[in-house]
A = this chain, B = another copy of it.
Amino acid sequence: MADPVYETALGASTKDTITLLGQDLAEDVMGTVGFGELAFWLATQRRPANGETRVFEAVLAALADHGFTPTAIVTRLTYLSAPDSVQGALAAGLLGGGSRFLGVTEDCGRFLHAVLSEVDTLPVDDEGWDALALETVEKARAAKEFVPGLGHHVHKDGDPRTPRLFAIADEEGLRGPHLQLFAAIGRVHPRVLGKTLPLNGAGVCGAALADLGLPLELLRGFALLARTAGLIGQLAEELRHPVANDIFLSVDLNNRSVPPDPHA
């Protein structure tokens, strides 16, 4: 086999130069490009405008840390058990970022995108969006499926992140079709479902990320990026005020041995 050649537009270096995304890393990126901006650029190979960065960073802030979630507990317990490996503790926490706890961001973005990609002409006003949203919610109901991002198990009367993210997107002129459709779903779903559910903040994040043109296959990845910062915060707090051992003991000391229960 002839040597394959692996092309990349990401990091590259020679003896005297380091480039990233075609830029001189030291001169044109360090000290100039913020971290959120850089993460956006790396994912799209397109430098975002300031407004895009602001929306993107608002999403990352919304998803960074939600307290003692399973991912946070997992990172703390893994660090307790293997303090020699910070990378292991962070990786273990991220592995909880799957379909259930961090999944709604990606699920919502993908769902909205699938609806939009079947529409020939996008609506031009709220009435049009409401009609599309109504059809969308009715279809989901008929198929006995949930609309991802609709409802929140804690913030039953409204997720504070939701209006704020819409407002930021509006300030930056970045309410695109995914956010439009999600907002319309928020307006019309009571007519179909007979009850009013809040638009989940993590769901709005997915809509906003999709509007920013970030790759749909990786929407979960941005939730994980945000969470990496959060998990470092959890470890830093654990170093100052350790609780992982208490968590472990609260399980281990309340453990009761029972006889096996054969599967068959």
Contacts and interface: CB of A to CB of B under 8 A. Distances in A.
Contact of A233 (B42, B165, B234): B42
B90 A92 contact: no
Interface in A7-54: 7-22, 24-27, 29-31, 33-36, 38-39, 42-46, 54
A257 to B, nearest CB: 4
Instruction: Determine the interface band of chain A, counting residues with CB < 8 A from chain B.
Output: 35 or more
B87 A11 contact: no
A34 B31 contact: no
A61 interface: yes
Given A45-B261, A261-B45, A8 B237 contact: yes
B44 A57 contact: no
Interface in A220-240: 220-222, 224-226, 228-230, 232-237, 239-240
Nearest to A35: B36
A96 B81 contact: yes
B157 A16 contact: yes
Interface in A198-249: 201, 213-215, 217-218, 220-222, 224-226, 228-230, 232-237, 239-241, 243-244, 246-249
Interface in A114-164: 154-161, 163-164
Given A10-B233, A83-B99, A88-B95, 4 more contacts: A8-B255, A71-B81, A81-B101, A217-B239
Interface of A: 1, 3-22, 24-27, 29-31, 33-36, 38-39, 42-46, 54, 56-58, 60-62, 64-74, 77-78, 80-92, 94-103, 154-161, 163-165, 167-168, 171, 201, 213-215, 217-218, 220-222, 224-226, 228-230, 232-237, 239-241, 243-244, 246-264
In the complex, the 9 A-B pairs of residues with the closest C-beta atoms, listed nearest first: A82-B98, A42-B233, A81-B96, A35-B36, A46-B262, A12-B257, A45-B260, A91-B91, A26-B164
